[in-house]
Amino acid sequence: MPTVPGTVIPDPVSQVAGQGEFVITPTTGIRATGDGLPVANYLGELLRPATGLPFPVGDTGDITLVIEAGHPAGGYDLVVTTTGIRLAADDAAALFAGAQTLRQLLPPAIEGRAQADAEWVVAATVIHDYPRFAYRGAMLDVARHFFDIATVKRYIDDIAMLKINVLHLHLTDDQGWRIAIDRWPKLTEIGAATQVGGTGGGFYSHDDYRDIVAYAASRYVTVVPEIDVPGHTNAALASYPELNCDGRSPAVYEGIEVGFSSLCIGAERTYEFFDDVITELAELTPGPWIHIGGDESLTTPEADFLTFVSRAAAIVASHGKTVIGWHELGRSTRLPAGTIGEYWSFTTAQADAAAHALSFIQQGGRLVMAPADVAYLDMKYDDSSTLGLTWADGATSVPDSYQWDPAAILPGIDDDQLLGIEAALWTETLATIADLESMAFPRIACVAEIAWSARPSVPRNFADFAPRLAALGLRLDAAGIGYYRAPEVAWHH
């Protein structure tokens, strides 16, 4: 039978239609054991509210989740027949990805939190699927505007639905320091007291942060914390005079300019500070990566920048973590083995960005691609956008965010040199969950598909994707997730 296009986003590697459908009834249960049990419990939680059905989890059930060897890395097999559903994968994270596919095979009303009237059926199908990239990231800037734990958890659920498995939290910037550091308490006493625009602010205690990390783990999402240094540090500089070369703290900053701040590179205290921060952060971070920023340090002289980067990266490595940095970090030729560069220039590289990014490859590392002109979700969609910015080559339409390929940006790069891709949501203009979701959706679905779905043999065609986005729109409506009704999509209402 031929592969038929379904409505699942990201598009599975292969999906073949079967005969008939599986009908969910009050006795439908979810069968799982061992590491499959948390996924079964998650699936049950997902399916119960809208159906009003019990979905018992245990040793019997027509929906079977199986962990077994033999599936591609990160992939799963999903078979739906008239008598049952079998979802199998090598590990729980891949099983969870398969559960997201199963979710999208159900009627959109499944996304509602109140009991809904719908025919709870799944059309028979055979899906074989696996990801293109291991790292499928979403970045959230909690520094320009602070977002509480509930908002971050909701965003984790938003991204997990699309098989995004990394949440990069931009924890520090000129406008705010958002993670408590016990040894340097003024970072949050002073540095977290405000945000862009001057009202609000806040930070995560260690327990808050552990709560976020644990919630993310329950969705098989790894949190990558970012401490952006040596630039983007006004909040730290405002908190501690000793971090400034002249020993004087600047005022806190509530605007949206970039590139004006720098730690004092020549002072040993700077490295004691950074080591203390990384010591506490590494202890809070079960994942392998810590991001140290490195972007837009426009007032740091080149020699100082290079000195700082090699010392800061070595500190992170000494705590057993792999360094990630924005592509400017590639100006250094003394990065620890395996350092990951995050490329944020455009799909046509600007100035030295390509050379800086390729430097990570030359030093044995890999890249995460987050090209700002297509994968920065805070860019305006078009002239009608009231939120967002335009510096990344103007507005970014929904087709723009879909029609690009991460392996086609830099010369000599193939998928092997890419750890993955990331959609970034900067928050200079975004203050609420509604703001976040209206800028993320639907473009984050475009980026998620590029991160997961196999590289196409011909360039991605938005016309093929648009009907699936329209189908996703019905799910977002049911879930109460606001999104931009892009004019290029024939939404179902």
Q: How far is the CB of 167 from ligand ACM (least distance, A)?
A: 16
Is 360 a binding residue for ligand ACM by CB under 6 A? The answer is: no
User: Using the 8-state DSSP alphabet, how is residue 392 labeled?
Assistant: T
Q: How far is the CB of 83 from ligand ACM (least distance, A)?
A: 51
Q: How far is the CB of 323 from ligand ACM (least distance, A)?
A: 15
Looking at the Cβ atoms of 120 and 344, the one nearer to ligand ACM is 344
CA 75 to chain centroid, in Å, comes to 19
Q: Is 296 a catalytic residue?
A: yes
* Residue in 178, 150, 82, 171 with CA at minimum distance from that of residue 122: 82
Q: How far is the CB of 344 from ligand ACM (least distance, A)?
A: 4
CA 414 to chain centroid, in Å, comes to 22
Q: How far is the CB of 393 from ligand ACM (least distance, A)?
A: 13
What is the rounded CA–CA span in Å between residue 50 and residue 38? Answer: 20
Helix, strand or coil, per DSSP, at residue 379: strand
Is 343 a binding residue for ligand ACM by CB under 6 A? The answer is: no
* Residue in 256, 239, 261 with CA at minimum distance from that of residue 192: 239
Q: Among 21, 157, 295, 405, which residue interacts with ligand ACM (rule: CB under 6 A)? A: 295
Residue 374 backbone class (left: φ over 0; alpha: ψ -120 to 50; beta: rest): alpha
Q: Among 204, 344, 381, 465, which residue interacts with ligand ACM (rule: CB under 6 A)? A: 344
* Residue in 53, 10, 281, 308 with CA at minimum distance from that of residue 160: 10
Q: Give 107-173 as a 3 state SS string.
A: CHHHHCCCCCCCCCEEEEEEEEECCCCCEEEEEEECCCCCCCHHHHHHHHHHHHCCCCCEEEEECEE
Total residues at the site for ligand ACM (CB under 6 A)? 4
Catalytic annotation, pick one of 21, 254, 296, 488? 296
What is the rounded CA–CA span in Å between residue 37 and residue 402? Answer: 35
Looking at the Cβ atoms of 227 and 478, the one nearer to ligand ACM is 227
Looking at the Cβ atoms of 324 and 481, the one nearer to ligand ACM is 324
Task: Return the residues of window 307-326 that contact ligand ACM according to CB under 6 A.
Answer: 326
Looking at the Cβ atoms of 296 and 382, the one nearer to ligand ACM is 296
What is the rounded CA–CA span in Å between residue 352 and residue 398? Answer: 28
Looking at the Cβ atoms of 94 and 335, the one nearer to ligand ACM is 335
Q: Which positions are annotated as active-site residues?
A: 296
Binding region for ligand ACM (CB under 6 A): 295-296, 326, 344
